[in-house]
Structure 1
């Protein structure tokens, strides 16, 4: 009798041990596929990548992740929060990856894993339409220029300001939409953001804004972000493969043309960012 109970106990323990091992053996991709949902963190004030249009979440990221969801066989669950909370949220495990997207920089690559680029991210200035005091990037010297908090655009603006005869009066905003509102109201002289973003904003409000050309920032690219740990490696590998497939069959270029009015010649990977 004792041996019978002992055998049953050993079988139960083995079952529990196997279940525990199986749970730990599952990586992020396996868990996402089992759940049928991938959680993606982003902000929704970064048009044309992510923004709210008539109450609906819209933009390039929404369309791209819809295609990625099809490739992975999962639904996309969006989690929106201010940009300064997005990367900490990823590290805290609140979502599986970040749409953003974010400029691929050396410092960020040390901490996160980036997907293949989805667009260019070179920085330029948006000014008020008809403002003749800013005809080239150097003209922002000594002027109040808005930029997003905790962004690569902020770092580039700070570096560029150091090279000018008068430092730029840099105004940091939690959301770019607020900086555009202040620019339209004349409270600041310009906004520094990536060329794709401000080109979209200018195209939507031609009587209000103009883009100052050429861009002043170094050549850069936007990518989606994941963590670098082994648990998430299969997921990031799958995302990379899906994005490169979309690039190869023309789907990515069509979405770029839809949201930017042009497609971008981007590398398959960024290994050595300019900054």
Structure 2
């Protein structure tokens, strides 16, 4: 064997070792070694994520605090605009998106979802005292606000197309949409039922739910991981923790704390 051949063989061996390590990469093991889970969420999505006097709180934080304890690491919470979260996850700026993300068939093809953490069925809210709109079909000829880039936007768009003559106005955050609704610049705002229930519960003098509030197919919120083999163990650890918390009553207690009631959630990840 020549010297040049020996060098090539050695380099090939190192490359093979490197590929072997890459193939054996495991996100859960890496997280445990680091002692932390780096998360991303939008802290302007009550009651899931809120900044109250500079302190992060809400359903998401309470749930993920408990999940992190079960895994044995500390959560690192980051306030990231919703539109930057999934792109940031894909380029590995964080380990997981814990903003409540609606499970859809399109997203299931691209990402790994955890078990559902809440109902996400699209619903409508109006200004208290507004008698012109009471049921979902009454938004025909009206202007409805919704957060941009959300599954609720797509569901509202599809529903509006069936009614015809529905003007949809997109917002960066739900808080901006609620402000315009309170100021009379919108006739309604579309969002998930838990978000709107919390809004009306805390501001009944300003807002009221449609009756019925929901329209479209039932949907669920969950957390999102990268769709990679090395994320499988991490997803399983989160799901195992959520099931344990469901069985021992922690999930129910957190729901009741923020929403005043609890709903039973699927014990498997929905396929649509």
Q: Compute the TM-score of the two structures, normalised by the length of structure 1.
A: 0.90
Deviations 1:234-259 (CA, angstroms, capped at 9, x unpaired): 11111111111111111111101111
Deviations 1:132-183 (CA, angstroms, capped at 9, x unpaired): 001111111111100011000000000100111x321100001000000001
Q: Compute the TM-score of the two structures, normalised by the length of structure 2.
A: 0.91
Cα contact 2:40–2:98 (8 A) shared by 1:
yes
For 1:1-275, list aligned pairs within 5 A: 25-164=24-163, 166-214=164-212, 215-273=214-272
* Whole-angstrom distance in 2 between the partners of 1:267 and 1:24: 32
* Whole-angstrom distance in 2 between the partners of 1:19 and 1:110: 29
Cα 1:36/1:190, change in 2 over 3 Å: same
Cα contact 1:136–1:212 (8 A) shared by 2:
yes
Cα 1:23/1:35, change in 2 over 3 Å: farther
Deviations 1:68-117 (CA, angstroms, capped at 9, x unpaired): 11001100001211111111111010110111111111111111111111
Cα contact 1:142–1:168 (8 A) shared by 2:
yes
Cα 1:16/1:110, change in 2 over 3 Å: closer
Question: How far did 1:270 drift?
Answer: 3.3
Cα contact 2:103–2:270 (8 A) shared by 1:
no
Question: How far did 1:24 drift?
Answer: 6.4
* Whole-angstrom distance in 2 between the partners of 1:229 and 1:160: 34
RMSD: 2.1
Structure 1: stretches of 5+ with no match in the other structure? 1-9
- Structure 1 residue ranges (4+ consecutive) displaced by more than 4 angstroms after TM superposition: 14-24
* Whole-angstrom distance in 1 between the partners of 2:198 and 2:160: 25
Matched length: 262
Cα contact 2:101–2:224 (8 A) shared by 1:
yes
Cα contact 2:181–2:189 (8 A) shared by 1:
yes
* Whole-angstrom distance in 2 between the partners of 1:155 and 1:270: 21
* Whole-angstrom distance in 2 between the partners of 1:172 and 1:108: 21
Structure 2: stretches of 5+ with no match in the other structure? 1-9
* Whole-angstrom distance in 2 between the partners of 1:24 and 1:159: 42
Cα 1:200/1:237, change in 2 over 3 Å: same
* Whole-angstrom distance in 1 between the partners of 2:104 and 2:121: 12
Cα 1:255/1:25, change in 2 over 3 Å: same
Cα contact 1:183–1:189 (8 A) shared by 2:
yes
